[in-house]
Amino acid sequence: MTRGVLIAIEGLDRTGKTTQTSRLLERLDKSGVDATLIKFPERTTPIGRIINTYLTDKAFELSDQSAHLLFSANRWELAEKIRNLLEDGKTVVLDRYVYSGVAYSSAKGLPFDWCLSPDLGLPKPDIVLFMKFKHEDNVTREGFGEERYEVAEFQQRVKTQFEKFQNEDNWKTIYVDNKSIEEVGELIWAEYEVVARREREALQKFTKL
């Protein structure tokens, strides 16, 4: 059996990640691929509930370090589930992951490497699709500004931190400017197919030995 594909969809707030992850799930489902969507932060776990309060209640204070470690711990709460799904041949789509963790916290001034270290050892995505506006129209989108972090100047700093990952071997930037939801969906699907084919070919080589 092929190991499932692990795909992370990343990007700034309001770049269409949630729309695209649910569309991807639907398409995988229609194509007969058994897939699961996990969104981070996963706000329903014990740690996720604290994170939710932190994000929605500006009076709830945490040091930047504590908040960072909670976001990471939230991923570790799900790490075994992700690994088990992949080993069972299921595809897992992540709406945000380690890269959001590092980008948002290092944008606050915490050292980049320090931010990365608590996540070391988590399952590595086969592909990270970074949804990016060349021009910052995400700040004018509906609903922007309701939660902590939804401030234009901060978003710009987060973007700079995200871009430090752009030379990683699993990183792919998807430019979303002037593209319809369907067009972005097609780009994402094409990237998924490349990775899925690679996995199948790797398995074939292995079984031939």
Q: Which residues bind ligand 2DT (CB under 6 A)?
A: 13, 40-41, 55, 71, 96, 100-101, 104, 149
Residues 6+ apart with CB under 8 A from 65: 110
Measured from the CB atom, the residue of 104 and 133 that comes closer to ligand 2DT is 104
Q: Buried (b) or exposed (e) across 180-195, using 16+ Cβ within 10 A? A: eeeebbebbeebbeeb
Separation CA 120–CA 122 (nearest Å):
6
| CB 129 to ligand 2DT: min, Å | 15
Separation CA 49–CA 45 (nearest Å):
6
| CB 204 to ligand 2DT: min, Å | 35
| CB 8 to ligand 2DT: min, Å | 10
CB 3 within 8 A of CB 87: yes
Measured from the CB atom, the residue of 2 and 170 that comes closer to ligand 2DT is 170
Rounded to 5°, the CA angle 129-134-136 comes to: 105
Separation CA 129–CA 11 (nearest Å):
8
| CB 182 to ligand 2DT: min, Å | 22
Measured from the CB atom, the residue of 3 and 49 that comes closer to ligand 2DT is 49
Measured from the CB atom, the residue of 112 and 149 that comes closer to ligand 2DT is 149
| CB 144 to ligand 2DT: min, Å | 11
Measured from the CB atom, the residue of 72 and 91 that comes closer to ligand 2DT is 72
Separation CA 39–CA 75 (nearest Å):
10
